[in-house]
Structure 1
Amino acid sequence: MMKLTKSFPFSSYYYIVVCLLATSVFSCQNVGSSKSEKKVDSAALKKEEARIRKEINADKKAALIEQVIQQKLTQGFNGNVLVAQKGVIVYQNAFGFANDSVKNNLQSKFQLASLSKTFTAVAVMKLAEQGKLGLDYTVKDYYPNFPYDGITIRSLLCHRSGLPFYQYTFDKTVRETKIYPTNQQIMEWFATVQPTPKMFNQPDHYFGYNNTNFAILAALVEKVTGKDFDTYMRENIFGPIGMKDSYIVTTKNDSININRTVGYQFGRKLPKDYYDDISGDKGVYSTLHDLLKWYEALKNNTIISKESFREMIMPRSFEFPGLRNYGYGFRLWVNAKQQTDYVYHTGWWKGYNTIMFFDPREDFVIILLSNKYNRTVYNIKQLIEIMHGGNSTMEESILDE
């Protein structure tokens, strides 16, 4: 309590005490009001969720999804599954083991493999929106010693660069030197190796899925931001979305190891690969719920604008007829008019198989993450049919990496 002095008359003191008491009373009333409002909000949310669940027939869909997943389990599936629609989780579950002794749970972290490309592409589009990177600029504009001309950022995003595969080009080097190269080292090798590796084709000649494209994009993100890829992604993508359990494989944050899974193939736990530290084409570790946040962020244009995302899911390759296409970092399932019906990406890397598949019109997302090599992950035709109420325009059953 304040000490009274001649310069602080009692009447003034009494006035302040009364004010403080009044403030306290009103503050308590506000706290009570706030708690009441929260209860009302919570009740309203539950009521709205119940309405949506009924509208989309969530309980029936969940029962049917369970039947499909049980069938996958008999075929060797080991991992986690989440299906959501209109902001409601219809189905989620964890199966099998994260490692030799620990079971998977809903918080288990999986290597997303090529599903990571969706994050890299969005990071590039965000930098383009900010004017820090130009889609029509070439790699040489940022790396003058890069040995190939005419490779634009756009051509990397939609796999139309014609570049050689880094995995095969430098395979002998990494195995002889026994080092784990970074993205910047890959750029250095391309610039200095003799003879210069031959390109597969001229830029923008045709679509050719190639991890080199996205390894270079991650290197470009580091180059233009001055930050390592993990730091940039945590500060600008994962953090703003609330993806607290997502990391780039090279992170120094030990939290990546909490609930982290191990990759298995043909019954064998796989050791670290020489290319494990290359990111952009792979390298994101994440969880079911973080990926649901990712879907919501894409849908709600939280990270990039609606116009940028529309550009990303626009088909870019038409040399090979069919229903599959590619945009910027996203695989696309198109209709006869070559318009995008579904957006997805698959992944495979050292025992991990992943898929994230969504329908922008019906607002549903299907996520399967597996840490024991099993190609049934990609077979989701039945799940799509369930989410469409028994009807689907899908004409093929396997969405492959």
Structure 2
Amino acid sequence: MLPILLSGCWSSKEIEDLALYAGLALDTGMEDKTERVLEDKGAKYPRKKKLTATLQILPVRTVGGKSNKQDPPRMPYNNISGTGDSILEIFRQFSIRLDQPVIGHHLKVIIVSAELLKEQPIENVMDFLLRDNDIRPSTMVFVSQGPAKHTLVSKENNSVPAFHIMGMMRNRSRTSKVMAPVTLNKIDSLMYAKKSFALQNLVTANGEVEFSGAGIIKGSSGHWIGTLNQMEAQALTWLRNEGSAGVVKAEVRNEPLTYEIKEMKSKISPKVKGEEIEFDVKITADGRIIEIWDSAAGAASPFTTEETTAVIQKQIEDMLNACISKLQKRYKADVAGFGDRLAIDQPALWKKVKDNWDEVFSRSKINFTYDVKISEYGSFVEE
């Protein structure tokens, strides 16, 4: 019996026999040059070409294999694209182009183009990814302006774009323009509840990728409906109480004055007046003046602390008002957590309005109060 007990996992597969992919990009259906050439040579099958999937496959040495120093340099990833009517169909087509089966145990990021989410509801796009037990629920999901597959290309020879994007999320400790990650597991619950939500937006240029604002997904339809710019996304992070650091730039005598946020918080409190729902939002910030370009200002500050605080607070007010205005008037979508707070504080009322919450939110009055502090003016030497 002992040899049987020590026989190991009967279903295991050697890592060298698998094509591990770390990134997945999903776009509207558009064949690349390789696919068109293959099709011209007879590689055809019935399809409507609803979407294009691009996998970022890792060579074995990237995930733990050893390489010989005498080997010629290789790209640390290989991208392959396929066009079809479903993600699984495309993955199975890769099986007649690759010598290894693709497997998603190491998938880190999924990027979906805004154009695809205009055409298809996110429920359709995510269906296979949520059902497939190879893919981890902790995989992060993003939206892109422009082709999603461009986010999986790097001008750096030793960089794996999927890992790079995942690593960029660590910069949340430096700037609140980097939003809290949205995982497959989180998207599943949001879709089930028909809630509107925001995804970190990616833009690309010359082989570089940048986080730039947020894409808004409408809960009732599942479609992409628009974007928040970088400052509005920073305000959204603040409203959701998910930020820890950031920068606010003000203008003093046409020169920049920069406030570094060391602590940022928000508190949303719903109020019910008859049939009207209002929200009181308290915004708090503590930080320091870290950069002053006004040469006439002196070493510390161009104004008194009270005047400087007022200048910084005005910038914060403008940022938050712009975000709320766009969410309420243009998109009519609560992605800032107002409904979540109402559900906690007023559960009976929430049950009455939750099915039409985005519309109710768009009519709700939101009152802001601010507590902005300047704790220090950085290190400086007076002449």
Fold shared by both chains (TM-score > 0.5): no
The structure with the greater share of residues assigned to strand is 2
What is the TM-score normalised by the length of structure 1?
0.21
What is the TM-score normalised by the length of structure 2?
0.22
The structure with the greater share of residues assigned to helix is 1
